[in-house]
């Protein structure tokens, strides 16, 4: 499994009790997959070492491309000084500064091959993956962040991350060819998020209390950012952003997560309820694209095809926003 990007974002595995990962792909947990950090990765060696220890990942299961970039403490300090954290809601991880130095082709850029503690993991990622594909192996590329944060295609510049985070961008950073791709999976959220602070527009922004009220929950709901541990901003479902993501990525499979937020009963059971199904049908109607898989709770992913019914009867009036449901 390939992980592109840097430590400015993280993913939490769908297994209870496991910590989020900011450097390694989530397959480092609970599988025998080989983890690959390609040339398009940005690595903080200390953080990577912590995650290797946390996941007990042996050297045989990790390949780091020798041309991957290294994020230094100076990169992090520079981002703190230049005001990006307050100006655009940057996480201040130093990733953006490392990207800039790489583009500037400065002689102080460090690559993975320059870090002695990484030498045991070094390899040629494109060749490793090419050999794997020729042996009929399977390669999964784990992207980072959503299309709304893409430096090129997000439409919110300068409120963007430091890279293009489209499917094509992830493929380029990995070093594989477009003809290698047979599936593109787009993951949506029932309630989109942004990092805390001045991080760009969020149409129909809500509070987490309103999210809980929308779903009729008897408990609070709140999410924290993986990197900064600050409360995330959250908003109602936005079909415009999703239509842009669909246009840029042309997915073969669309997944919608956090559907348990829609209905407290789905939260308890991990199964889709009539309210959840009406919400999904309303989303499909608004984006003109089918939802293939539905995520309810961390360990529950259900095929939309198995649940598809004649649920278009009431979707015209079904509320996608909290304000409309009052």
Please report how the helices 125-134 and 167-174 are oriented relative to each other, as an axis angle in degrees rounded to 10: 100
User: For residue 326, what pLDDT is reported?
Assistant: 40
**Residue of 243, 242, 306 lying closest to 277 (CA atoms):** 306
Domains of the chain by range and CATH? 1-182 (3.40.440.10), 183-326 (3.90.170.10)
Task: Return the residue matching tokens 């019914």.
Answer: 309
User: For residue 287, what pLDDT is reported?
Assistant: 95
Mean pLDDT for 216-241 is 90
User: For residue 278, what pLDDT is reported?
Assistant: 93
Q: What is the DSSP letter of 21?
A: B
User: For residue 325, what pLDDT is reported?
Assistant: 44
pLDDT per position as a tens digit, 59-114: 999 999 999 999 999 998 888 787 777 787 777 888 999 999 999 998 999 999 99
User: For residue 213, what pLDDT is reported?
Assistant: 95
β-partners of residue 21 are 11
Q: In this model, does residue 314 exceed pLDDT 70?
A: no
In the structure, what pLDDT confidence band is assigned to residue 316 with cuts at 50, 70 and 90?
low
**Residue of 180, 167, 168, 173 lying closest to 137 (CA atoms):** 180
Q: In this model, does residue 297 exceed pLDDT 90?
A: no
Helices (H), ranges, the chain: 45-55, 73-81, 84-88, 95-104, 125-134, 167-174, 208-214, 239-249, 264-269, 274-287, 304-307, 322-325
In the structure, what pLDDT confidence band is assigned to residue 309 with cuts at 50, 70 and 90?
low
List the single range of 15-19, 100-104, 137-141, 174-178 with lowest mean pLDDT: 15-19
**Mean of per-residue pLDDT scores for the chain:** 89
In the structure, what pLDDT confidence band is assigned to residue 13 with cuts at 50, 70 and 90?
confident
User: For residue 84, what pLDDT is reported?
Assistant: 75
Mean pLDDT for 114-129 is 98
| Contact (Cβ atoms closer than 8 angstroms) between residue 20 and residue 11 | yes
pLDDT per position as a tens digit, 170-202: 999 999 999 999 999 999 999 999 888 888 888
pLDDT per position as a tens digit, 149-170: 899 998 889 988 889 999 999 9
């Amino acid at each position: 499994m390939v992980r592109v990007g840097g430590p400015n974002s993280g993913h939490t595995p769908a297994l209870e009790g496991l910590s989020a990962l900011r450097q390694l792909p989530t397959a480092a947990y609970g599988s025998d997959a080989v983890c690959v950090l390609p040339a398009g990765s940005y690595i903080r060696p200390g953080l990577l070492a912590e995650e290797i220890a946390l996941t007990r990942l042996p050297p045989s299961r990790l390949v780091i491309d020798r041309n991957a970039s290294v994020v230094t403490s100076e990169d992090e300090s520079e981002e703190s000084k230049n005001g990006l954290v307050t100006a655009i809601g940057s996480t201040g991880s130093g990733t953006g500064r490392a990207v800039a130095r790489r583009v500037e082709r400065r002689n102080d850029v460090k690559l993975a091959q320059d870090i002695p503690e990484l030498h045991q993991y070094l390899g040629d990622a494109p060749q490793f993956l090419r050999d794997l594909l020729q042996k009929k192996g399977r390669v999964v590329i784990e992207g980072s962040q959503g299309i709304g944060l893409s430096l090129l295609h997000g439409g919110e510049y300068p409120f963007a991350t430091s890279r293009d985070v489209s499917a094509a961008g992830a493929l380029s950073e990995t070093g594989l060819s477009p003809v290698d791709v047979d599936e593109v999976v787009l993951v949506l959220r029932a309630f989109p998020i942004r990092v805390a602070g001045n991080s760009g527009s969020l149409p129909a922004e809500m509070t987490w209390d309103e999210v809980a009220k929308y779903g009729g929950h008897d408990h609070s709901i709140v999410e924290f950012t993986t990197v900064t541990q600050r409360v995330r901003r959250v908003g109602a479902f936005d079909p415009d952003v999703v239509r842009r993501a669909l246009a840029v990525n042309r997915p073969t499979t669309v997944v919608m997560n956090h559907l348990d937020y829609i209905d407290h009963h789905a939260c308890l059971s991990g199964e889709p309820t009539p309210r959840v199904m009406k919400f999904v049908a309303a989303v499909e109607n608004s984006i003109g694209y089918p939802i293939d898989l539905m995520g309810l709770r961390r360990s529950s992913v259900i095929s939309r095809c198995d649940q598809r019914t004649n649920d278009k009867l009431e979707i015209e009036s079904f509320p996608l926003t909290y304000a409309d449901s009052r």
